[in-house]
Structure formats: structure tokens, C-alpha cells
Structure 1
């Protein structure tokens, strides 16, 4: 099991204010003052054509990692998919519930419902940067997917492999001093390299409205005839499997 990473504040006050207003300005700020704009207006709107190009490829139950205000989870649910969003931001989870999605306040590295059974996982809107360690993140996502399951990830529009510490900022410097967290940005080539080492093979790659997407498939489990396991290994019974607690059930809109 991956190491549990406690949720970060993610600039709680500034982020919540932006989600409540449905607009920025909001940025990720590096220590050297460089700013990466966060597209709050798009995140709070309905899915655009680039989003829909990714949603059309989803199959089975869908886990949206870093779901933000939940536009993708809600759209998937309205289209008949079983979908769950997870986010470390309480404001993001509340917003997702308000628009009809299901969501939990969790880190991707926390215990999650349905581990090893998700048909599709999403890492959209730069969320390949979560945790600042792409190798660890992609290994964790592979653990969450069913054999043959699909990861749809959005890459940076230019080639890069960058790891930095950032904080959420509205451009005025109001973010709390020291409220920094690790982040990463990957172009498609770097993302594919990390994915292969995590047991994810390329399935598709495309661009839409200037955004770059990669679809990766978890390698299917080997058949019993090719397994190196002893033929008479005892079966694992249902009583030996870890069971979900009530806290693992998606919170649904009341």
C-alpha cells in the first residue's frame, strides 16, 4: 500500500473564495515569484469540447482524482456513469455535491473505495502534478485501476518535467506564509516515460483546443497458465480481504 499523504490546505480560504465566486484570479506561485494561472472559470463551468473529448473515452466506473468543483463528475453522472470525485479541498467537495456529483475529501494516497476495480481514472487540469512525484502518483493510480483499466491524463502543452514547491495565491501575495506544497508539471513525453515504469501502456494521445491528453491502460493480469505462483496456493477468502468502512462510501447529494 502506498504511503498515506495527509491532505494539504491547498490555500483553503483563497480557493474557497474563488470557487464561491466562480472565477479567479488564482495562481500557483513558486518561491521565485513565477505564477501559473489556475483556470477557475473553466473548472466551474460545464465541460467544454476538450473535456468532452476525454469523457467520451471513459469506460466503467470513473474515479476523478483532484476533481475540483466537480464539473466532470457531475457530467459523467448525468450521462449514466458511476463516478466519484476525490479532492483534498473541502470547498471543492461541497461544490461537487451541490451540482449533483459524488465526492469524498481524500488524497489519492489515502485508502479509497474500489481499489483495484476502477474502470477509468482521470488526472485532468494539471493533476499529474499532485504530490510533486509523478512516479509515485502513477504507481498509485495503477493500483486503483482494474486490470486493463484506463487512465486519462492531461499533460502540459509543451515538453517539460518540472518539480517545484508552490502555494495558492490570488496575485496579491495574500497566501499564508509557509503554506507551500510540492507540485509537478509534465509534458506528454515525460508522462509516457513515468507511465511505462508504473505498468501503464500508451493507448491513445490527442490534442483538443490546445490541451494535450494521453490515455494509458493498466496491463491486464496474467492468466493462471502464465503465472509463476504455485498451483496449490491457498485461495484468499472473503473474510481475509480488507473491507470498506462506512467512511469509504461516496458522499452523495442529499
Structure 2
């Protein structure tokens, strides 16, 4: 089963439908990472607001989930689009008044190369299991002067592994590749992908990096 199919299967869609967990990512060795479904399904908190305040121009939210950030931007009259491979995530975003497409970031996107800000929030630097490859892809998504705002893992970690979604009650999806990177590791992935850290901040226990293209055109893939 592909990563796309795994995220479209229950129990992830079921949790988004109800707005409640529990929901986890389980690594092959049994380690569990809780997913914050309830937070994702509520209004933006102060940490989210710190991200929204730094968005400029048109905004693409990659892995938008239930759409709280896209909907908040839309409510302010900003042009924003969410992208998510979960049909329930897209449906919930639309119900909140946001715009969203059900597809992968690695597929061709609307206005590709012209987005001013791309968001990788709530662990979405893990998409595809390779943060460097994901950030290289974003050079083709954002404009030459665009930025990426990415949330880091809250611990000093740099791992690519296989996980599956579980609900703690016996329901689970198929395995797929995922990654986690703390601030130091994510900054290193960004440099390899042709980005530089222009700002780092922490709020409510969450850490974010704002990434700008490296000055040298040779750094772009």
C-alpha cells in the first residue's frame, strides 16, 4: 500500500471525522508517537498564530489536515490552499470555509512555482520519509523569493523510519515511510536542499523555522 493510500484509510479519517483521538504513529519496534487530533480540529492557538502572522502573500499548507490554518487565513481574506491526501481532511477544510485539494505534494500543484509561503506544520516535514527530498521539491512549488515555514520535532532527533497509523483499539493502517527532525537536524536538511534558516522561534513548547532560498542560484535543484 502506498503512503497516500495508508493515510486515506481508517483510523485516520475516522479520527478526523469525529475530531477525537486517540491516534498514534507506531514504529516497527513498538514505539508510539501520539497525534494531536483534538488540537488539529480546534481553532488556531497562539503557536499557530505565530505562524500565520509570518505568512506573506499566497499560502500553500502542505498536509493541511482538518484545515484550521487554511480556514483562518481564508477568514482574513488571504489566498490560501490546503493540500492533503486524506479525503476527510479535505472535506473538513472545505466545511470550515477553506480551500483544499486531495493530492500529494509530489504531484503537480496549482500555481506551482508561484506560492509565496509554504507551510509544513504538525510534523509534516516527515512527509515521504525524507525531509531533504521534500524541501528540494518545495523549490519548485514556491516562488524564487518565497519561504517555507516548518515545524520541528520537539526533541533532538533525526530519523527516517516506517510507521503506521493506529487508534489504540486495534484499528491500524498500512506501513509507510515517515521522518522526524528536531531543529538542528531540520536546519541541516534545509541546507542540503538549498535553503537557509532566516528565523527560529519557540512558543507553547513548539519550535519553528522560517526558511529562505540560499542566495546562490546553484543551490537550487
TM-score by length of 1: 0.82
Partner of 2:19: 22
3-state SS of paired residue (2:77) = coil
Q: Are positions 1:79 and 2:76 aligned together?
A: yes
Residues 205 and 134 (structure 1), Cα distance of their counterparts in 2 relative to 1, 3 Å cut: same
**What is the RMSD of the two structures over their aligned residues, measured on CA atoms?**
1.5
2:178: which partner in 1?
A: 183
User: How far does residue 8 in structure 1 lie from its aligned partner after superposition?
Assistant: 2.8
CA contact (8 A) 1:11 1:168 kept: no
Larger radius of gyration: 1
Match of 1:205 in 2: 200
Aligned residues: 216
Cα 1:149–1:221 shift into 2, 3 Å: farther
Which 5+ residue runs of structure 1 have no aligned equivalent?
Answer: 223-254
1:122 is the counterpart of 2:129: no
Runs (5+) with no aligned partner, structure 2: none
Contact 1:11 1:167 in 2 (8 A): no
The 5 A counterparts of 1:1-254 are: 7-10=4-7, 12-176=9-173, 179-219=174-214
Q: TM-score normalised to the size of structure 2?
A: 0.94
Deviations along 1:165-220, one digit per CA (max 9) or x if unpaired, are: 111101123214xx110000000111111111211111100000000100001246
Say whether the 8 Å CA contact 1:118–1:144 is kept in structure 2.
yes
For each residue in 1:65-114, what CA deviation from the matched residue of structure 2 results, as whole angstroms up to 9, or x when unmatched?
00000000000111121000000101100110011000001111001011
Q: Structure 2: how far apart are the matches of 1:7 and 1:27?
A: 17
Contact 1:148 1:220 in 2 (8 A): no
